[in-house]
Amino acid sequence: MLALLLKMGLSALIAVSVTVLAEKSGPVIGALLATLPVTSGPAFLFLAQDHDAAFISQTALSTFAQNIPTAIFATSYVLLAQRLSTTVSVGGAMCVWLVYLALSLWGDSSLPTALLLGACVFPLCIVLVRPYRHASASASSPGQHASDLIVRGLAVALLVGAIEVLGLVATPMWTGVLAAAPVLYLSLMIILQRRLGGPAAAAVIANSLAGFLGISLAFVTVYLLAVSLGKWTAIAFGLTFSASWNTGLFLLHCRGASVLQSNSNHLLPIEANRSSS
The full set of domain ranges for the chain reads: 2-276
Q: What pLDDT, on the 0 to 100 scale, is given for residue 267?
A: 47
Question: For 152-163, what is the mean pLDDT?
Answer: 70
Q: Between 74 and 200, whose confidence is greater?
A: 74
Q: What pLDDT, on the 0 to 100 scale, is given for residue 36?
A: 80
What's the rounded Cα separation, in Å, for the pair 100 and 97?
5
Q: What pLDDT, on the 0 to 100 scale, is given for residue 150?
A: 76
Q: What pLDDT, on the 0 to 100 scale, is given for residue 108?
A: 64
Give residue 31's identity as a one-letter amino acid code: A
Least confident of 2-11, 113-122, 158-167, 174-183: 2-11
Q: What is the SS3 assignment for 17? A: helix
Residue 206 neighbours by CB under 8 Å, 6+ apart: 27, 31, 78, 129, 130, 132, 133
Q: How confident is the model at residue 227 (pLDDT cuts 50, 70, 90)?
A: very high
**What does the H/E/C string look like for 30-61?**
HHHHHCCCCCHHHHHHHHHHHCCHHHHHHHHH
Q: What pLDDT, on the 0 to 100 scale, is given for residue 232?
A: 95
Q: What pLDDT, on the 0 to 100 scale, is given for residue 272?
A: 45
Residue 91 has pLDDT above 60, yes or no: yes
Q: How confident is the model at residue 273 (pLDDT cuts 50, 70, 90)?
A: low
